[in-house]
Structure 1
Amino acid sequence: MTSILLLVVLLAAVGSVAILIRPQRASTFEFYLAGRRVGVVTNACAICGDYFSAASFLGVAAAVYASGLDGMWYATGFAAGFVPVLLFIAAPLRRFGEFSIPDFLGRRLESNSVRLTSVAIVQLIILAYLVPQAVASGIIWELFIGQGVGGLSAYATGVLVSTAAIMLMVALGGMRGTTWTQAVQFLMLLAIFVWLAIIVVASGFNYPDALRELSSRPLANPVESGGTWRLEEVTNRLHPESPAYFGEPGGQYSQLGQFALILSLALGTAGLPHIMNRYFTSPTGTAARMTTVWVVGLAGLFYTLAVLLGTAARSVIRDVSAELPWLAELTTEGVLRVPEYALLVLGQVFGGRAGLGLIAVGALVAVLSTIAGLLLASAASWGHDIYERYINLHATQNQALWAGRAAVAVVAALSAGLALAVRPESLTGQFPSIVATMVTWAFALAGSALTPVFILAIWWRRTTGAGAVAGMVTGAVTAVTMCAAGVLMGDTPYAAVLMTPTVVSAPCAAVATVAVSLASRPPQDMDRIWVRMHGTAADRRAVRIARLTVAGIGRRSREGR
């Protein structure tokens, strides 16, 4: 009962913040962009709250727990993802100043086909990212609450309650309410990570000693066979004739697999709609770039703690499993059957039910924060890019807002339905962390279909609308096909590479974009577009003055005739 009360209080607090600071005016500009008045630090914290999803809070530690050093590649890729954003995208994207990714690409390339294609791609990415968040919420509820409501299982109840709660928050609060709740949620996540790290280290945990001890024996994980669980040694992907060890590479990926994973995560960040849309809320291009600098620093700290705690969980839980009877239902010979339980169990080992409750709240906050950003991005692409431009050209602000809110409800319901079809226990033998792996698929799709087109549209003047459509379709089809083939191949050496397809699909998308662009005509007014994206404020002011001067001379000439 105490656990349920704690979660109810959390959901009520998050909803109250969103409602209290929601925009007072019924305006799409306020609902989607918060009036472009979000400060650097606030936006950085909100982006972190948006980005550090269940894959970050539960998934990275779970991947480290299950596969050792190879799990660290998730932390590396997630943290490195903002470097391309900082160097190539943040400032030009904000200077161009639209509502969403489809809006930016449609206006930059002056093409309705680009806008419609990118809306479809954005919705596919959002759905791929939403499902693992809903899965994580079910996992959290299942362990923390342990019981369902209205005849539903605990897992199904967690999925439905969290999705419904955050859907309501986004519909009421818009970007302003979501921004502040995400910023507060991130600070809560970071505080929980710091608390757990302090209490673990204070108990005597030593990272170098633990790593050395874990690496002294072959890595083994639970596998279900015939209704019973047993430990099975993990094969080294680099040296198939040898077992894998916790502190050595090869526990999950070959050399190509490691590179493919990091590339998928690094390129995927720049194509995530819920992250890129946040840059449109910055007041200036400089503010967008400084926001990214803050995010890189905060991400480095966050993922360092995640790796530390994943290692601590592998070391500590096995040592105490014989002393704590409740662990018998969750472990096989001291190893967790569901790696996503690692931080939750670690919290209970050191803090009892209160510690478990604190970690569960943090994990649920991570889920809710990311779901909020994804639903808001979905609302922007449907409400602004489709409804206002193609369905109801004369829509009032109120009608456009309700179209966005309806999109939130439909996408949330669809993601919850897909999450209910997933059972984490049935997939843990194939993936180091089902949540982190499913999020990686979304990153791969974003990095294949959107990032190459994004970068070319920003930095190559010759990019055309037809080229962008060809690139997005090529990248998306290649990525989805390779991921599907990887899942069907099961636990084989090539499956891991196929499920991180960006190393193949992103170059295919770039080549298709360039080839078709060279055979088609670019937008006519490229000088104006280029100055808008890359010029300084002084440059843009000079262009406006020159345009006004030319217009004035032309008008006087006509009057003279």
Structure 2
Amino acid sequence: MSGASIVTLLAVLLVVVGISLLTRPRHSSTVDFYLAGQRVGVATNSWAICGDYLSAASFLGVAAAVYVSGLDGAWYAVGFAAGFIPVLLLVAAPLRRFGEFSLADFLGRRLGSEPVRLATVGVIQLIILAYLVPQSVGGGITWELLVGQGLLGLSPYATGVLISTAVVAAVVALGGMRGTTWNQAVQFLLLLMALIWLAAMVASDGFRYGGAVAELSREPLMNPAYTPEGWVLVPEVNQIDAGQPATFGEPGSRYGRLGQVALVVTLAMGTAGLPHVMNRYFTAPTGKAARTTTVWVLALAGLFYALAVMLGAAARALIPGAVREHPWLEPLTVDGVLKIPEHALPVLGRIYGGEAGLGLVAAAALIAAMSTVAGLLLASAATWGHDVYERHLNPRATQRQAVLAGRVTTLVAAALAAGLALVLHPNAFTPALPSLVATMVTWAFAIAGSALTPVLVLAIWWRRTTAAGALAGLTTGTVLAVAMFTAGSLLPPSAGQELLATPTLVTAPLATLVIVLVSLRTRPPADVDSAWVLMHGTAADRRAERLAELTVGARPALPWRALPWRGRTDRQRTGEPTHEGLGDRRGRGLRGDLP
């Protein structure tokens, strides 16, 4: 471990902890801890959402998938970036106008059902776990390459998993949504700067994307595989033209025609159901701000993924020629091809910047993993601390007790994710998967897109959606998605396996059909008109609705004890002064934009 690597690593950790200390909420309020007081501006929120969303799967995984699969790997970038289009068109503004703490909170109150709330909590926890584990794996990979040494008798990989997860868990427990927001915003800017620097370096060295892809496509695509005789290069089979070798610049190296569509649909639909991303929209001050934030996210994510695809191709083209000049590359490669695709960007960083370049890129990868872990842990805390503990286990909990419950669940979720990551070292998976990190995250997208997204979109746009329909849809989508990608992982390779690995193209329509059929046979919530005004009405409509509730005493959809504010402001519950306007907002139950 060089001095530059040590300095880089310490600087990253100090920045993360320092921001959390400076932005730590002054009051023990659940609105502060989970929603940052609902006063996060458009620019800050767009950067934070990018920091939350552009995870190790994006920074390490997309470039790795392009490196190992060529054009087929680029579909990850297309799907990840396209996911915010349905969020922009269908979800962001109505979700924020309705106003709650989490997706489970939204669906529970929109459909007037505690069973829907608890079922959503279960699905969310499954998604969070599937997303958390590969982020912790990414932290271990980065430490292994950046530092190369373990602590307290642990391997370098295990040390990276434990340290990165522990630091982020402490940051989230300490700073809540406010500290996490600023951390994610700063981390995204650092991440983007690292990509821009690396792209500028390879471009200045004469790399041109089009020419490189054409040159790489002249030879069959070959990747390392581990055999009893050791590591060897094996050709990739073309999944579209049987009997033909796969090439870097043509489709078919990893997926057939149906598989490519299925992958993009899974990633695009899954985004709207990711709890750690969607929860950020509740922090926006208004629905308009949530929609504007999404536009900025689309632009920033598009730039990020374009750079990631370019650099994945650059690594494939440039690393073989660099082996002769850099002997340290030999243990990492087989005939010039990296054994672990996720090493592509850090290796480029070291080639062009020496130890300092390696430190910069590896620190950016560590930032990507830590930033997303922070969002996932906060989403987990919101569902367990608010939707379960505060509503069911201890309905009369004070604000301090509710926040403490969120902090405890943060630490528990982090420990579980780290434990699972320790048994999933990527060396055991690389020959079978285009990218371990990107593939594991795809499973989280599959569950989200199959179960949560259909229920969420129908609850927002179809008045007839019922609690029974939502429960049936959540169950159908989750069970089918898990069964299909589990079967795809266990069964021997076959023509339909690619659809099993990315099942949303099948499972989402089936879940939607189940929701519609069951909803048509059951009774919708009594207050659907009021909910419709909150989600889709004008500011004047929402103001009139609130005035009507105040003057005629309209009852809310859920029992008084189950409401997030339970009839009391922060001042009444804790005896502490509230932020300006916050007591009024909580007195209205976080319902919609302020007039």
Length-normalised TM-score, structure 2: 0.91
Determine if contact 2:8/2:360 at 8 Å carries over to the other structure.
no
Q: Which residue matches 1:513?
A: 515
C-alpha separation in 1, matches of 2:214 and 2:167: 44
SS in 1 for 2:70: helix
Q: Is the 8 A contact 1:430 1:491 kept in 2?
A: no
1:202 is aligned to: 204
Following superposition, the deviation at residue 538 of structure 1 comes to: 0.9
User: Which residue, 344, 347, 357 being the options, matches 1:345?
Assistant: 347
Q: Is the 8 A contact 2:19 2:179 kept in 1?
A: yes
Matches within 5 A, 1:388-427: 388-427=390-429
3-state SS, counterpart of residue 231 of structure 2: strand
Of 118, 121, 127, the match for 2:120? 118
State the 1:497 CA deviation. Answer: 1.7
1:207/1:312 contact within 8 Å kept: yes
Tell me how far 1:414 sits from its aligned partner: 0.5
Correspondence 1:69-108 to 2 at 5 A: 69-108=71-110
Structure 1 stretches of 5 or more lacking a match?
A: 553-561
Residues matched between the structures, number? 552
Name the residue aligned to 2:292: 290
Partner of 2:319: 317
TM-score by length of 1: 0.97
Distance in 1 (alpha carbons) for counterparts of 2:444 and 2:510? 18
Shift of 1:74: 0.3
Superposed, 1:264-283 pairs within 5 Å as 264-283=266-285
Q: 1:489, CA displacement in angstroms?
A: 2.0
Comparing 4-13 and 57-66, the one that deviates more? 4-13
Q: Map 1:203-222; keep pairs closer than 5 Å.
A: 203-222=205-224
Q: Distance in 1 between matches of 2:459 and 2:278?
A: 15
Match of 2:475 in 1: 473
* Matched-pair contact (CA < 8 Å) for 2:465–2:516: yes
Structure 2: distance between partners of 1:337 and 1:173? 39
The answer for the alignment partner of 2:247 in structure 1 is: 245
One of 487, 491, 496 as aligned partner of 1:494: 496
Q: Report the CA distance between 1:483 and its aligned residue.
A: 0.6
- Cross-structure match for 1:145: 147
What's the CA shift for 1:322? 2.3
Q: Does 1:445 align with 2:447?
A: yes
* Aligned equivalents of 2:351, 2:272: Cα separation in 1: 38
Match of 1:185 among 181, 184, 187: 187
Q: Distance in 2 between matches of 1:369 and 1:546?
A: 43
Aligned mates of 2:43, 2:302 — CA distance in 1? 16
| Preserved CA contact (<8 Å) 2:65 2:438 | yes
Deviations 1:21-66 (A, max 9, x none): 1110111110000000000111000000000000100000000000
| Cα 1:404–1:191 shift into 2, 3 Å | same
Residue equivalent to 1:555: none
Residue 550 of structure 1 deviates from its aligned partner by 5.8
Q: Secondary structure at the match of 1:280?
A: helix
Match of 1:557 in 2: none
* SS across alignment from 2:496: helix
Query: Would the aligned equivalents of 1:532 and 1:540 in 2 still touch at CA under 8 Å?
Result: yes
Q: Distance in 2 between matches of 1:217 and 1:490?
A: 28
Shift of 1:9: 2.6
The residue that corresponds to 1:373 in the other structure is: 375
Correspondence for 1:127 among 126, 129, 147: 129
Deviation at 1:494, TM superposition (A): 2.6
Moved over 6 A (4+): none
Alignment-mate amino acid for residue 92 of structure 2: A
Query: Following the alignment from structure 1 to structure 2, what is the Cα–Cα distance between the partners of residues 493 and 351?
Result: 44
> 1:523 and 1:169, CA in 2 relative to 1: closer, same or farther beyond 3 A?
same
1:23 is paired with a residue whose SS is coil
Give me the whole-angstrom Cα distance separating, in 1, the residues matched to 2:545 and 2:118. 31
Mapped partners of 1:326, 1:546: distance in 2: 72
In structure 2, C-alpha distance between the alignment counterparts of 1:115 and 1:548, rounded to whole Å: 27
- What letter is aligned with 1:97? G
Partner of 1:482: 484
- Structure 1 position 546, deviation (Å): 4.7
1:19 to partner: Cα distance = 1.4
Q: In 2, distance between residues paired with 1:253 and 1:323?
A: 35
Aligned to 1:29: 31
Two-structure CA RMSD over aligned residues (Å): 1.2
Residue 158 of structure 2: which of 156, 159, 162 is its match? 156
1:454 equivalent in structure 2: 456
Any stretches of 5+ residues in structure 2 without a counterpart?
A: 555-595
Q: Aligned partners of 1:227, 1:169: CA distance in 2, in Å?
A: 46
Distance 1:547 1:16, change over 3 A: closer
Letter in 1 for 2:365: A
Offset of residue 547 of structure 1: 5.2
